[in-house]
Structure 1
């Protein structure tokens, strides 16, 4: 009965809504998103500077950020720091970290060593999940393609609209076989969800790569008119913001920064209610 009562109240409020309120509710919602491979906070000068990484992100004014190559107590290269939590604190954003690798510490009692992807959000996060996709491990001397975690999903409530945000990092090898499997896994996972969906990340391939072709049957590439890698003098566009139906791309740019070996992709989006 309580559920029926709530539904009746919602219907009544809708019927009594003023034309102005109804018009406001039907307007598209603007959203600014960023995809950034942060190279564990190491810039083109070889220096670890997470504050510089945070400043590069802050300067874009992004509401949601998908990060790749994030260390959490991983190694001396990042001073064994929790980069996901520290960046979230510097930027006053919520964070979901999805490890690709989760290893025992080098010394007893230390935190587990993790490396993976993350999602930062200025908006409330309703649900998170670390999905498995096919990977060829860099930690195994004789790897074979196998399911492994590190495909992050966060359902973010953007001004009343639940948006599925995914952060991914596809295989870097010249042979596209593993990326082809990862694309198939990605589409299978995303097909379970409804409503606006955003797939962001380092795809390690260009838009024209045959292994990425299935993505373009269901997603739209924001397609900035610039390259992202390598950051000092980019010649490749391998970092992406892609969107599903119910999401329009208003603009896409590649902000200049030397805080990583990649430049990020910034997209201005419009969500349909």
Structure 2
């Protein structure tokens, strides 16, 4: 990962050191729940989580463009390195291949990343292609959630794909998982909205909000929305969720495209007793998008309802089989 403005960083670090020497600042100490015990919650909605002594967690969203870097070279290790260096504990990935084609070397990227990072994972299918010549497994493309904490349940919801005679849109979905963070369960949603038409994005978003609204748990929604902060799509999203970076006064930080970023289309949103301590856009050339990382505090609370593994409004993708569970990773189709 690289910093875009090394000079400003140097000035900032020098100022911090001076304040530490003067006794004005007290260094933070890593906490067992993740993050640092010296972090404070941002003011405003959701700050009750920190006041109640909540759980600190580092959350990331990252469109990895099937593991191709700024030079269009396949480099999945760089993606893993970005996640590892950021010390992200829960990650929503978009544009992930599994045995897809030569473009990703037929690698099961979901499994590879989970094993490389020693994380649990769930996969949500967007599209499926027949096996390539000489291959036995079909090509899959979709969403992944990686988690250092156990994934209790997962379900992939296929979103309605409006039909167009000209420039037809691609199938999209939302991956919904329930994660147990040291006894506190949260709902975590990962999605990637249409990149061609606002009408399609609004339709997809309305289904997502309908599915997320019934959850009694603290909720986090991450995604590539293909929509900018002042768009109708984002105004609609904010009727149920809070925009972490906007709440922190960082709503103008661009995330795409990497070479000359001119728009923010990648977001971390929260709902319920979840507060944002800090957030940053990570400057990396491992994709055409830059990942967003946030330090969140989630109020400690008992789960107020059973994990939703089926049902709920909107069309959902049937499972292709029972969950396959290993010692460290879990995956659902």
Shorter-chain TM-score bucket reads: 0.7 to 0.9
8 Å CA contact retained: 2:169, 2:194: no
Q: SS of the counterpart of 1:35?
A: strand
TM-score (norm 2): 0.70
Residue 134 (str. 1) matches residue 156 (str. 2): no
User: For residues 5-24 of structure 1, what are the alpha-carbon distances to aligned partners after superposition, in whole Å with 9 as ceiling and x for unaligned?
Assistant: xxxxxxxxxxxxxxxxxxxx
CA RMSD of aligned residues (A): 2.0
- 1:177 and 1:134 map into 2 onto residues whose CA distance is 12
Q: How does 1:260-271 map to 2 (within 5 A)?
A: 260-271=287-298
Q: How does 1:227-266 map to 2 (within 5 A)?
A: 227-266=254-293
The residue aligned with 1:215 is: 237
Alignment equivalent of 1:159, drawn from 182, 198, 201: 182
- 137 and 72 in structure 1: CA distance in 2 versus 1, 3 angstrom threshold: farther
The residue aligned with 2:222 is: 200
Alignment equivalent of 1:169, drawn from 178, 192, 199: 192
- 75 and 34 in structure 1: CA distance in 2 versus 1, 3 angstrom threshold: same
User: For residues 191-235 of structure 1, what are the alpha-carbon distances to aligned partners after superposition, in whole Å with 9 as ceiling and x for unaligned?
Assistant: 121111110010001111112222101110011452110112211
8 Å CA contact retained: 2:172, 2:193: no
- 98 and 59 in structure 1: CA distance in 2 versus 1, 3 angstrom threshold: same
- 1:141 and 1:70 map into 2 onto residues whose CA distance is 26
Q: SS of the counterpart of 1:260?
A: coil
Structure 1 window deviating more from structure 2 (77-86 vs 221-230): it is 221-230
The residue aligned with 1:106 is: 132
The residue aligned with 2:71 is: 45
Residue 118 (str. 1) matches residue 144 (str. 2): yes
Q: Which has the higher strand share?
A: 1
The residue aligned with 2:327 is: none
- 1:109 and 1:250 map into 2 onto residues whose CA distance is 47
Structure 1 window deviating more from structure 2 (65-74 vs 149-158): it is 149-158
- 2:55 and 2:183 map into 1 onto residues whose CA distance is 10
The residue aligned with 2:10 is: none
- 1:256 and 1:167 map into 2 onto residues whose CA distance is 21
Residue 55 (str. 1) matches residue 81 (str. 2): yes
In the alignment, structure 1 segments of 5+ residues that lack a partner are: 1-25
8 Å CA contact retained: 1:180, 1:212: no
Q: How does 1:4-43 map to 2 (within 5 A)?
A: 27-43=53-69
User: For residues 146-193 of structure 1, what are the alpha-carbon distances to aligned partners after superposition, in whole Å with 9 as ceiling and x for unaligned?
Assistant: xx56311110001111011111000001x3000010110000110121
- 1:155 and 1:99 map into 2 onto residues whose CA distance is 17
Q: How far 1:144 moved relative to its partner?
A: 7.0
Q: How far 1:272 moved relative to its partner?
A: 1.0
TM-score (norm 1): 0.85
